[in-house]
Structure 1
Amino acid sequence: MKNLTRIVSTKVLLSHQKQVLTDVGLEVLESNFIQVEFKKFELKGIKDNLIFTSQNAVRSFLTHPKLEELKSELQQKKVFCVGVKSKTILTDAGFEVVAYTDYASDLAEIIALIYANGSYTFFSGNLRKETLPLALKAAGIEFNEIEVYETKLNPHKITTTVDAILFFSPSGVESYLKENTIKKELCFCIGETTAEALAKVTKKIIVAPQPSIEELLADVIEEYN
């Protein structure tokens, strides 16, 4: 193993996720650098198709107090989402996922090229990127947007010297940089969008081949084991 042995995760990992890192001799410091709160919202004015670009939006939608009452109606609608885990959660809840991609830009392209005649409700968070809304507008696609969760930055000062940092979202990058600087640390990013948030700060970036925690951890193990 190389000398680089201490990493900080900007998200508290599940016990089995952390275990795969400690099993190869890595010391893991972890803290949630963002906090997510589900918002109250109305399930009104819902279009023919549903769009989700994050698991948080999916989970907020599925915990709506009136979902059971409206479920049979809503399950008639087609779903488009970002992320295989979001797809799995929605499918398990009885929704038909027509298309899913790793990134919002790819999903927007599919909708614009193949499904442009439909109307859409986009369930989003307060810090969502403009990528998908701008693409839908450019294609002249009818859609509305419902904000269903809020992401709040939760910065911490890391006082221990670390050799690598795990990032899971652009907002996690923003939160980390509020109290810390990145110098020689190797940065592991869950996806391209997260990596873009670091591009002006460091070039020492490794991006997971697929945007999942498991793929990110596999990169870490490959690097240090």
Structure 2
Amino acid sequence: MNKKIQIARLLRKEQTKAEKKLWRYLRNRNFENLKFRRQHPLKEYIVDFFCEEYGIVIELDGEYHNEINQAKKDELRDLHLTELGYIVIRFENKVVFEQVDVLFQAIENAKKKQHEFSIARKQQLKKRSNIRKNHLSPTLSSSRGSKTVLSTKILTPSQKELLLNSGIGFVEYNALEFEFLDIAIPPDYSNLIFTSKNAVKAFLRQSDDSNVLNFHAYCVGEKTKSFLEEKGLKVVKMAQNASELGHFIVKNHRNERFIFLSGNQRRLELPELLEKNNIRYKEVQVYNTHLRPKKFNRVFDGVLFFSPSGIRSCLQENEIGNSWAFCIGATTSLEAKKHTSQIIIANKPTVENVLVQVIKHFKQHD
């Protein structure tokens, strides 16, 4: 099956609330008798909604489209499609819920502008139909030698697209389950240490949004830093691992007090380093990590690991054998070394970089 078709089908199953609502208006020619398709492959893209007859593309944007890099990609994509004769209508998700009439008016205007496109397109589709009647379509054969990996966490649609675009199949599941605890966080600390995004989520469940500006955050990982800043907290220091963060605190903030918000599976490096250097801190366990072992009766070319706990969970019921272990960081790789020597570590501690390592490795060893 064509890779883009695979991705499109996957995205249809994971539509946003805004996409689902708009689809109810557009499906079955409900609006202006226009036939729309959802999550449709178009050139090298997959567009949210597409009317082939008039060349109308509708894109609904979530918050991440406001990020500078993504906004630039969207602009280039829209420019390319426009140069090819399509007309692109782009709105934020909230428009579907708050001002859907504005979106409808934009579609009507696009239909009028694309009148000439529609005439040419109808002729093209008629010609294509005649050709298909006279020729047999070739059978699509599956590619040989394709690789399949196991991800120990559920990936986002864009992350899945990275793998599928590279011809890599995958199986995914959540090897871990998180339980947030209703524990009071001492109010007399302004310096907070986070070594995971889950600790941030647990903290926010207990905090008043108006008070977050009073805290200074010290964290591990770029994703945790971005999440903290998104929620309005000031990040003083972001480190790649807990040991690096601990050394920074010892060197630069020795006389300050900290609260370390942790989970039950946290490692010992950071608290041991703080205690050794007489840093005043209080540790509060704000969430529990539960292992979710699951048996897989097959062999994978690679397994994607995102934490030491994820490795322990996965390998309770499975053996890694000759599969490659792709690890999000050095700490995770230390756990992996207990089970295999075939380890590749991400250059940055992000899910996306783990996927990049998977793609690079299997391209080189195809």
Name the TM-score, length of structure 1 as normaliser: 0.93
Paired residue for 1:62? 204
Unaligned 5+ runs, structure 2: 1-142
SS of the counterpart of 2:214? coil
The whole-number CA distance in structure 1 between the counterparts of 2:327 and 2:267 is 17
CA contact (8 A) 1:100 1:107 kept: yes
Paired residue for 2:151? 9
CA root-mean-square deviation? 1.5
Paired residue for 1:132? 270
CA contact (8 A) 1:162 1:185 kept: yes
2:180 aligns with one of 9, 25, 38: 38
- Partner amino acid, structure 2, of 1:56: N
The whole-number CA distance in structure 2 between the counterparts of 1:22 and 1:137 is 46
Residue 179 (structure 1) shift: 0.2
Paired residue for 1:158? 296
SS of the counterpart of 1:146? strand
Q: After superposition, give the CA deviation of every residue in 1:24-74 in whole Å (9 maximum; x if it has no partner).
A: 11110111111111111102254231100000001111122x423xx43x5
Instruction: Return structure 1 stretches of 4+ with deviation > 4 angstroms.
Output: none
1:167 aligns with one of 280, 305, 310: 305
Q: Please, which moves more after superposition, 163-172 or 84-93? A: 84-93
CA contact (8 A) 1:125 1:150 kept: yes
Q: After superposition, give the CA deviation of every residue in 1:68-125 in whole Å (9 maximum; x if it has no partner).
A: 3xx43x5223211111111111112221111110100000000001111100000100
Larger relative CO (CA 8 A, sep 6+): 1 or 2?
1
Q: Quick one: structure 1 residues 184 and 120, their matched pair in 2 at CA, closer, same or farther if it must change by over 3 Å? A: same
SS of the counterpart of 2:159? helix
The whole-number CA distance in structure 1 between the counterparts of 2:261 and 2:144 is 44
2:340 equivalent to 1:205: no
The whole-number CA distance in structure 1 between the counterparts of 2:229 and 2:159 is 24
Alignment of 1:17-166 (within 5 A): 17-64=159-206, 66-68=207-209, 71-72=210-211, 74-166=212-304
Identity %: 37
Q: Quick one: structure 1 residues 141 and 7, their matched pair in 2 at CA, closer, same or farther if it must change by over 3 Å? A: same
CA contact (8 A) 1:164 1:185 kept: yes
- Partner amino acid, structure 2, of 1:17: Q
More helix by share: 2
Structure whose CA Rg is larger = 2
The whole-number CA distance in structure 1 between the counterparts of 2:215 and 2:168 is 46
Q: After superposition, give the CA deviation of every residue in 1:107-150 in whole Å (9 maximum; x if it has no partner).
A: 00000011111000001001001111111101101110111111
CA contact (8 A) 1:4 1:163 kept: no
Unaligned 5+ runs, structure 1: none
